[in-house]
């Protein structure tokens, strides 16, 4: 039997500013209930220009890395779909900013919101063969659809950092997994666009179809294992999405699985589901990190969980790739999460007016030639982008 490998530490960074979706609804002439109930979002995290994906990721990872970790990390895997460079990997900046030992390797992974899951699996395989070593897997994204677009309320930003080790103290990742790939145009972002192109309703339909396809395959290939899953966590572009997927699965014709057992499982997953959405409702879409923000939410707020429980994690990336992976909760998961620190991180945030949010949204780098200088007076926090000069990005740290 192979040894236990998985998530030993989790770091989370959410920008300090947010928009209240009720304010947004009023500004857009929409019934607030549509955003709060129909979509299921209360707040939307808004990054400043100086909070690019490197700054977000470095702030998430810095919280969890001890001096020993910095020496024992062999790889930095950066999952993102908000990259600003087609060549140089964002992970190289992290390696430098975090002072990780020089013989580590650094690279970036892309497949829409699914990328982080591929990174975790690659990390687990590496550590399985080298149990003394560690891998840092980081996701950071800025979800942008545009002012006044139907996707606007599903924007968000932030980063999740996971330390993958042997004998993990939060979640042991299991080898069972079911993946699927389907060439689709539900959501994509060509290099010449700074906002996503999206066929919104089609994307929600495809997400549900791929969830059902994956679940039906699990019914066929490993029904005994399926029955052990205590809670189901989803990639959450908005918090109604996972519920829609569960409802679609409930309505699907399961010919390979006992219908009573299926109904009992779904009841259990639906009862736990609200706990998986608490944090995501306050942030919006993190793209690559959303599933793992939902995992943090589940671990913090689902009181019925105990160590040894099996969690299903449904990863979805438009384009499209989906995969169901599973993990087993470890005895020290709550103390390793540092829930008080996460709560304080959310409590420190301040609300923007819609006018302030729109001004920040429009403040993009005007051209590749532009030199950005962030003065010392700006409300930076932790790592931030200080300067772009001659196409080179420079970062600084504000304690
Ligand atoms: P929309 O078309 O403006 O909204 O945008 P709608 O008309 O479909 O309404 C949404 C829900 O609100 C509906 O509920 C309405 O009934 C309800 P549902 O039928 O779906 O259960 N509603 C109300 N509820 C209460 N009171 C009211 C009221 N009015 C309406 N007064 C849409 C919705 C999701 C299309 C849009 O926000 C969008 O395009 N978002 C971006 C795309 C997205 O998030 N897709 C999700 C699946 S794809 C994915 O997850 C991948 C992704 O993360 C990217 C990646 O992989 O990189 C996006």
pLDDT for 350-398, tens place per residue?
A: 999 999 999 999 886 654 556 666 665 565 689 999 888 888 999 999 8
Query: Which protein residue has the closest C-alpha to ligand 1 atom 19?
Result: 38
Same domain for 160 and 200, yes or no, is no
Query: Which protein residue has the closest C-alpha to ligand 1 atom 31?
Result: 34
Query: Which protein residue has the closest C-alpha to ligand 1 atom 5?
Result: 150
Question: Is the pTM here over 0.95, yes or no?
Answer: yes
Q: Summarize pLDDT for 262-318 with one digit per residue, the tens.
A: 999 999 999 999 999 999 999 999 999 999 999 999 999 999 999 999 999 999 999
What is the CB neighbour count within 10 angstroms for residue 56? 32
State residue 391's pLDDT score: 86
Distance of CA 54 to the CA centre of its chain: 15
Q: Which of 331, 358, 390 is the last residue in one of the domains?
A: 331
* CATH number for the domain that contains residue 11: 3.40.47.10
Same domain for 177 and 248, yes or no, is yes
> Using a 6 Å cutoff on CB, does residue 112 contact ligand 1?
yes
d(C-alpha 280, C-alpha 137), whole Å: 20
Counting the structural domains of the chain, the total is 2
Q: How far is the CA of 356 from the centre of ligand 1 (A)?
A: 25
Same domain for 167 and 118, yes or no, is yes
Same domain for 213 and 349, yes or no, is no
Q: How far is the CA of 240 from the centre of ligand 1 (A)?
A: 8
Which ligand 1 atom sits nearest the alpha carbon of residue 187? 54
Q: Which of 313, 331, 349 is the last residue in one of the domains?
A: 331
Q: Summarize pLDDT for 75-96 with one digit per residue, the tens.
A: 999 999 999 999 999 999 999 9
Phi, psi of 81 (to 5 degrees): -125, 20
Q: Is the pLDDT of residue 51 over 60?
A: yes
Task: Select from 24, 44, 154, 314 the residue to mutate for testing ligand 1; criterion: most ligand atoms less than 8 Å from CB.
Answer: 154
d(C-alpha 132, C-alpha 368), whole Å: 43
Q: Is the pLDDT of residue 215 over 90?
A: yes
ipTM of the complex: 0.98
Q: Which of 286, 308, 331 is the last residue in one of the domains?
A: 331
Q: How far is the CA of 144 from the centre of ligand 1 (A)?
A: 15
- Give the mean pLDDT of the chain: 94
State residue 56's pLDDT score: 98
* Segment 216-240 mean pLDDT: 96
Same domain for 45 and 108, yes or no, is yes
Q: Which of 187, 286, 188 is nearest to 234 (CA)?
A: 286
Q: How far is the CA of 39 from the centre of ligand 1 (A)?
A: 6
Q: Which of 123, 117, 125 is nearest to 105 (CA)?
A: 123
Same domain for 45 and 118, yes or no, is yes
Strand partners, 397: 383
Show the tokens assigned to 162: 């996971």
Query: Which protein residue has the closest C-alpha to ligand 1 atom 3?
Result: 150
> Using a 6 Å cutoff on CB, does residue 118 contact ligand 1?
no
State residue 93's pLDDT score: 98
What domain range is 233 assigned to? Answer: 173-331
């Amino acid at each position: 039997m192979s040894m236990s490998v998985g998530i030993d530490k989790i770091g989370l960074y959410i920008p300090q500013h947010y928009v209240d979706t009720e304010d947004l609804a009023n500004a857009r002439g929409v019934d607030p209930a549509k955003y709060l109930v129909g979509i299921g979002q209360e707040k939307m995290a808004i990054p400043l220009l100086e909070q690019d994906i490197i700054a977000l990721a470095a702030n998430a990872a810095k919280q969890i890395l001890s001096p020993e970790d910095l020496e024992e990390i062999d790889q930095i895997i950066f999952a993102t779909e908000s990259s600003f460079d087609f060549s140089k990997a964002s992970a190289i900046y992290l390696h430098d900013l975090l002072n990780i030992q020089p013989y580590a390797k650094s690279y970036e992974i892309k497949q829409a919101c699914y990328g982080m899951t591929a990174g975790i699996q690659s990390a687990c395989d590496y550590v399985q063969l080298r149990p003394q070593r560690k891998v840092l897997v980081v996701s950071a994204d800025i979800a942008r659809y545009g002012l006044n677009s139907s996707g606007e309320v599903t924007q968000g930003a932030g980063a999740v950092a996971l330390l993958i080790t042997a004998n993990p103290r939060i979640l042991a990742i299991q080898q069972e997994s079911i993946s699927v790939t389907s060439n689709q145009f539900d959501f994509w972002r060509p290099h010449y666009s700074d906002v996503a192109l999206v066929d919104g309703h089609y994307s929600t339909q495809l997400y549900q179809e791929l969830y059902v396809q994956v679940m039906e395959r699990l019914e066929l290939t490993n029904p005994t294992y399926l029955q052990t899953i205590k809670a189901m966590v989803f990639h959450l572009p908005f918090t109604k999405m996972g519920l829609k997927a569960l409802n679609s699965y409930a309505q699907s014709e399961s010919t390979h699985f006992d219908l009573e057992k299926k109904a009992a499982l779904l009841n259990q997953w639906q009862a736990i589901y609200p706990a998986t959405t608490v944090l995501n409702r306050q942030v919006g879409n993190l793209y690559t990190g959303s599933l793992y923000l939902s995992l943090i939410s589940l671990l913090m707020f689902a009181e019925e969980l105990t160590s040894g429980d099996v969690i299903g994690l449904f990863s979805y990336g438009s384009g499209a790739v989906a995969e169901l992976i599973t993990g087993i909760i470890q005895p020290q998961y709550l103390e390793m999460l540092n829930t008080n620190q996460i709560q304080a991180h959310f409590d420190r945030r301040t609300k923007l007016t819609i006018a302030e949010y729109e001004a920040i949204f429009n403040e993009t780098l005007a051209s590749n030639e532009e030199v950005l200088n962030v003065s010392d007076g700006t409300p930076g926090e932790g790592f931030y982008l200080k300067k772009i000069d001659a196409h080179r990005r420079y970062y600084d740290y504000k304690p």
